[in-house]
């Protein structure tokens, strides 16, 4: 199901359209004294209530569209519409639900007002998020297919073109169709001119007509022509919508055209396409779109005249649309007959080209990264890993890479042997070069850690020292260790820095396992606190919030002032992550608060705005909500009562001893989809996730239930084996392996809080 909301300044045109459609049926009037009222009476009620406030968004026009081939009867559609309005905050507003049957999919129109009886505007902040969450809830309840999650999959279907009926219906249908298509295109693309807009709307059978008066003011009007006997008169742009007039659009075009980022995007694309041309000996025009998509991630559409390809248009990820001629003469297909003008020759790479050799080098380098990241126990540095590998060791990883399949795909069979030979010859060269690069990078990284440790100790961020060896907590949390008066990377002796600390004792309660992902987050955090890099706050992820759980002995010794700065930053990082996780479930601002409450976070009124706090941090630590989020929550009626109601949830978590980061961490893993890890924590560690029941239920239905069942069966099997261990030595030895496996499983759980795949191809950091 797809729900769409458009806000209007007046309601008469909307009502004329929804009531005037041939074959329409009124399913229900909401919050009216009777269902037996006239359309005119409802229109008067809606009009006068909406006029109680001067906002431009007085009225809401909502459409609920079912997927193709799916059906709801009038009663079910009426109930679904009522629930939708309740969840979206319109439960007390007057509204009408009208069913239309003029398209291939079943749908209803709902018209209401954003102004309540007291003349106040209902909060429409985050209406898109609430709309998506409400859709998801209703799809599940009524057994409907889910709507596409990706924006590019939600293109406006062409069959929504208005059909020729009565004059009134014809005009209103055309107007709303034009609004839908034009608004969608202007939101998706950064259009720079009327000519470009005309090309983008052509597939939707929309035509543009431009006029210019004596002062140079440009006007625009729109018409429909489906080349099938249906053509409309042209409608002035300001009549379609005030923001679709010629002058208003010209302002938008000027802003998009004068952006400082435009030349950067153009230069980037020119380089990417030029690199592609340099890799190929020949390219069939019809295959260029696939080549650019796979190799460079560029979306293009070929410009054809009949069966002849005359060029192409690039639809860039930035939102800009470029003709090939904008990227330079060397990019135009007609100027590159050396590649495109070879008749029926197949698309084929140039195995002798410099670019092909560069691609082989990139391929080998990526294979090294892949093999290293797959290693469960990374006991050495990346350079040490490379030094020990030959081609046979990484061949399987190399041949499964997408880049390898791409290169092999466009080589004739008689050259594939040469390709593999080139990989073999290039391998030792790339390996030696990469070892040198990584060795230099590792040495600089260790020196940087040494300087950072000095700054940390000088500023007194942690109360650690040589006495008792507590400074080792800091070393460990930065991925280094002290041996024989030298500082080394943990688990490596390749690089070292002299540091005379004498016989430094090791605390008995040192952590046995340290996740490299957490080390990286801790390093970024401490660089920020020492102001070595003040921008690192933006690089911290939700993982930073769990640092005290991973390095408890170190963070217990954190100075209160720095602790508060850390907690403030970590709260902000976690807030940003949690908002994304909650979005598919959040149907209202109250949901926003309840989802955070279930996790152990609560909101309080600060001096100027709402702030978020948590049961895992000091009571004085807080993070001020962004302005838009603050306005969103402030739209809740009786906000004071809602904030007061948080106390019961928070007290319950504290009463049940669930104010530990491990409870939040288990829920975090659940959100990320690591169900086996969550099942282990639930069954073996008895750690329960702090998570809202609706979200828990979603994950249970999505695979968590089966993972828990597997974990329970595995646990039962281990317990049974333990009973036999006294009599059967072999089973006893297997059990010891099983116990060890559980410990390793927990270690993996801690590593999974940082997604290593994010660093793939970007070098290994320590």
In a domain, 543, yes or no: yes
CATH assignment of the domain containing 46:
3.30.930.30
Percent over 70 (pLDDT), the chain: 87
Q: What share of the chain is helix, strand, coil (3-state, %, to 5)?
A: 55, 15, 30
Query: Residue 763: its pLDDT value, please?
Result: 35
Model confidence at 743: pLDDT above 70: no
The mean per-residue pLDDT over the stretch 79-101 comes to: 90
Distance from chain centroid for Cα 658: 29
Q: In the 3-class helix/strand/coil scheme, how is 311-340 assigned residue by residue? A: EEEEECCCCCEEEHHHHCHHHCHHHCHHHH
In a domain, 444, yes or no: no
Element (H, E) at 349: strand 348-349
> Which of the four pLDDT bands, split at 50, 70 and 90, describes residue 21?
confident
Model confidence at 151: pLDDT above 70: no
Query: Residue 378: its pLDDT value, please?
Result: 61
Query: Residue 531: its pLDDT value, please?
Result: 84
In a domain, 161, yes or no: no
> Which of the four pLDDT bands, split at 50, 70 and 90, describes residue 481?
very high
> Which of the four pLDDT bands, split at 50, 70 and 90, describes residue 317?
very high
Examine the domain organization and report whether 323 and 234 are in the same domain: no
Nearest 5 degrees, angle CA 261-CA 267-CA 272?
Answer: 125
How far apart are alpha carbons 40 and 17 in whole angstroms? Answer: 13
The mean per-residue pLDDT over the stretch 169-197 comes to: 82
Alpha helices of 225-353 — where are they, by DSSP H?
237-240, 246-257, 262-279, 288-296, 337-340
β-pairing, 321-323 vs 348-349, is unpaired
Q: Please check whether residue 586 is in contact with residue 87, taking contact to mean a CB–CB distance below 8 angstroms.
A: no
Radius of gyration of the chain (CA): 32
Examine the domain organization and report whether 58 and 108 are in the same domain: yes
| Nearest CA among 611, 522, 517, 524 for reference residue 568 | 611
The mean per-residue pLDDT over the stretch 407-433 comes to: 93
Last residue of a domain, one of 617, 651, 685: 651
In a domain, 445, yes or no: no
In a domain, 433, yes or no: yes
The mean per-residue pLDDT over the stretch 459-464 comes to: 94
The 10 Å Cβ neighbour count of residue 538 is 12
> Which of the four pLDDT bands, split at 50, 70 and 90, describes residue 748?
very low
Burial of 671 (0-12, 13-18, 19+ CB in 10 A): buried
Dihedral pair phi/psi, residue 740, rounded to 5°: -60, -40
For the ranges 142-156, 158-172, 366-380, 620-634, which has the lowest average pLDDT?
158-172
Examine the domain organization and report whether 251 and 379 are in the same domain: no
Query: Residue 131: its pLDDT value, please?
Result: 81
| Count of structural domains within the chain | 6
| Nearest CA among 545, 614, 538, 607 for reference residue 574 | 545
In a domain, 539, yes or no: yes
> Which of the four pLDDT bands, split at 50, 70 and 90, describes residue 509?
confident
Examine the domain organization and report whether 413 and 556 are in the same domain: no
The mean per-residue pLDDT over the stretch 287-310 comes to: 91
Percent over 90 (pLDDT), the chain: 55
Q: What mean pLDDT value characterizes the chain?
A: 84
Examine the domain organization and report whether 116 and 25 are in the same domain: yes
> Which of the four pLDDT bands, split at 50, 70 and 90, describes residue 297?
very high
Better pLDDT: 141 or 568: 568
Name, in order, each residue with C-beta under 8 angstroms of 621's C-beta and a sequence gap of 6 or more: 563, 564, 567, 568, 571, 613, 614
Examine the domain organization and report whether 330 and 364 are in the same domain: no
Examine the domain organization and report whether 666 and 752 are in the same domain: yes
In a domain, 557, yes or no: yes
Examine the domain organization and report whether 311 and 383 are in the same domain: no
Examine the domain organization and report whether 13 and 28 are in the same domain: yes
> Which of the four pLDDT bands, split at 50, 70 and 90, describes residue 598?
very high
Structure tokens, 621: 């630590």
> Which of the four pLDDT bands, split at 50, 70 and 90, describes residue 755?
very low
| Number of helices followed by number of strands (H, E) in the chain | 30, 19
Query: Residue 227: its pLDDT value, please?
Result: 56
| Nearest CA among 540, 435, 451, 443 for reference residue 496 | 443
In a domain, 70, yes or no: yes
Model confidence at 244: pLDDT above 50: yes
- The length of the chain in residues reads 766
CA–CA distances in Å: residue 756 to residues 517, 535, 763: 7, 22, 11
- Domain that includes residue 404, residue range: 354-437
Query: Residue 736: its pLDDT value, please?
Result: 34
Query: Residue 222: its pLDDT value, please?
Result: 92
Examine the domain organization and report whether 595 and 729 are in the same domain: no
Examine the domain organization and report whether 150 and 44 are in the same domain: yes
Examine the domain organization and report whether 328 and 370 are in the same domain: no
Alpha helices of 538-588 — where are they, by DSSP H?
547-550, 552-555, 560-582
Better pLDDT: 648 or 5: 648
How far apart are alpha carbons 495 and 211 in whole angstroms? Answer: 72
Please measure the distance between the N-terminal and C-terminal CA atoms of the chain and give it in whole angstroms. 46
pTM: 0.70
How far apart are alpha carbons 118 and 328 in whole angstroms? Answer: 60
> Which of the four pLDDT bands, split at 50, 70 and 90, describes residue 719?
low
Structure tokens, 69: 């081939």
The residues pairing with 222 across neighbouring beta strands, listed in sequence order, are: 208, 235
Residue 306: DSSP 8-state? T
Element (H, E) at 607: none
For the ranges 16-25, 42-51, 355-364, which has the lowest average pLDDT?
16-25
Name, in order, each residue with C-beta under 8 angstroms of 670's C-beta and a sequence gap of 6 or more: 678, 689, 691, 695, 696, 699, 704
Last residue of a domain, one of 224, 257, 290: 257
Task: Order the strands of the 480-483 sheet from edge to edge.
Answer: 480-483, 486-489, 496-498
Last residue of a domain, one of 213, 239, 257: 257
Model confidence at 536: pLDDT above 70: no
For the ranges 7-16, 27-36, 565-574, which has the lowest average pLDDT?
7-16
């Amino acid at each position: 199901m797809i729900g769409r909301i458009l806000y209007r300044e007046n309601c008469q045109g909307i009502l004329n359209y929804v009531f005037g459609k041939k074959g329409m049926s009124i399913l229900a009037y909401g919050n009216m004294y009777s269902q037996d009222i006239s359309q005119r009476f409802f229109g008067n009620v809606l009009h006068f209530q909406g006029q109680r406030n001067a906002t431009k968004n007085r009225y809401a026009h909502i459409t609920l569209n079912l997927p193709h081939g799916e059906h709801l009867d009038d009663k079910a559609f009426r109930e679904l519409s009522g629930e939708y309005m309740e969840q979206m905050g319109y439960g007390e507003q007057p509204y009408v639900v009208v069913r239309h049957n003029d398209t291939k999919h079943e749908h209803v129109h709902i018209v209401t007002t954003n102004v309540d009886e007291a003349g106040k505007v209902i909060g429409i902040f985050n209406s898109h998020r609430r709309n998506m969450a409400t859709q998801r809830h209703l799809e599940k309840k009524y057994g409907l297919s889910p709507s596409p999650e990706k924006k590019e999959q939600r293109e406006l279907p062409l069959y929504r073109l208005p059909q020729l009926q009565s004059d009134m219906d014809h005009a209103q249908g055309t107007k709303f169709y034009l609004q839908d298509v034009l608004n969608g295109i202007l939101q998706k693309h950064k259009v720079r001119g009327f000519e470009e807009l005309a090309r983008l709307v052509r597939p939707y059978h929309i035509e543009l007509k431009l006029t210019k008066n004596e002062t140079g003011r440009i006007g625009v009007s729109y018409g429909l022509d489906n080349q099938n006997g249906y053509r409309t008169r042209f409608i002035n742009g300001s009549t379609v919508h005030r923001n679709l007039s010629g002058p208003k659009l010209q302002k938008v075009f000027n802003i998009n055209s004068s952006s400082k980022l435009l030349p950067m995007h153009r230069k980037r694309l020119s380089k990417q396409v030029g690199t592609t041309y340099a890799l190929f000996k020949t390219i069939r025009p019809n295959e260029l779109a696939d080549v650019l998509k796979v190799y460079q991630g560029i979306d293009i559409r070929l410009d054809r005249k009949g069966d002849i390809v005359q060029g192409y248009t690039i639809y860039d990820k930035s939102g800009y649309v470029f003709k090939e001629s904008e990227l330079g003469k060397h990019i135009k297909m007609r100027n590159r007959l050396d590649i495109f003008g070879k008749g029926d020759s197949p698309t084929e790479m140039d195995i002798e080209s410099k670019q092909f050799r560069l691609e082989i080098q990139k391929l080998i380098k990526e294979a090294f990264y892949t093999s290293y990241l797959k290693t469960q126990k990374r006991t050495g540095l990346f350079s040490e890993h490379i030094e020990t590998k030959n081609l046979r060791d990484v061949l399987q990883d190399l041949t499964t890479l997408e880049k390898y399949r791409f290169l092999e795909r466009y080589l004739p069979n008689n050259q594939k042997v040469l390709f593999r030979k080139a990989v073999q010859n290039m391998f030792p060269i790339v390996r030696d070069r990469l070892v040198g690069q990584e060795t230099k990078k590792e040495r600089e990284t260790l020196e940087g850690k040494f300087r950072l440790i000095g700054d940390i100790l000088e500023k007194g961020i942690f109360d650690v020292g040589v006495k008792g060896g507590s400074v080792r907590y800091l070393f460990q949390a930065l991925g280094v260790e002290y041996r024989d008066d030298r500082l080394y990377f943990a688990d490596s002796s390749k690089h070292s820095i002299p540091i005379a600390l004498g016989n430094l004792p090791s605390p008995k309660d040192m952590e046995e396992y340290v996740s490299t992902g957490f080390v990286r987050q801790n390093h970024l955090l401490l660089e920020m606190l020492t102001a070595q890099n003040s921008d690192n706050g933006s690089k911290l992820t939700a993982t930073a919030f769990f640092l005290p759980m991973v390095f408890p002995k170190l963070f217990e010794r954190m100075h209160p002032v720095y602790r508060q700065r850390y907690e403030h930053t970590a709260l902000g990082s976690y807030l940003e992550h949690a908002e994304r996780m909650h979005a598919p479930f959040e149907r209202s601002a109250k949901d926003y608060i309840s989802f955070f409450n279930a996790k152990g976070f609560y909101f309080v009124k600060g001096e100027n705005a709402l702030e978020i706090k948590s049961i895992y941090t000091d009571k004085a630590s807080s993070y001020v909500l962004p302005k838009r989020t603050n306005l969103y929550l402030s739209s809740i009626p009786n906000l004071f009562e809602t904030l007061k109601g948080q106390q019961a949830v928070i007290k319950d978590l504290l009463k049940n001893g669930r104010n530990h980061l491990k409870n939040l961490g288990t829920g975090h893993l659940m959100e990320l989809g690591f169900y086996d890890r969550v099942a282990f924590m639930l069954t073996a560690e008895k750690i329960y996730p702090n998570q809202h029941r609706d979200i828990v239920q979603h994950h249970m239905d999505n695979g968590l239930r089966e993972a828990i069942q597997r974990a329970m069966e595995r646990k039962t099997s281990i317990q049974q084996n333990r009973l036999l261990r006294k009599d059967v030595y072999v089973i006893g030895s297997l059990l010891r392996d099983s116990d060890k496996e559980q410990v390793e499983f927990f270690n993996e759980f801690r590593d999974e809080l940082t997604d290593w795949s994010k660093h793939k191809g970007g070098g290994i950091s320590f």
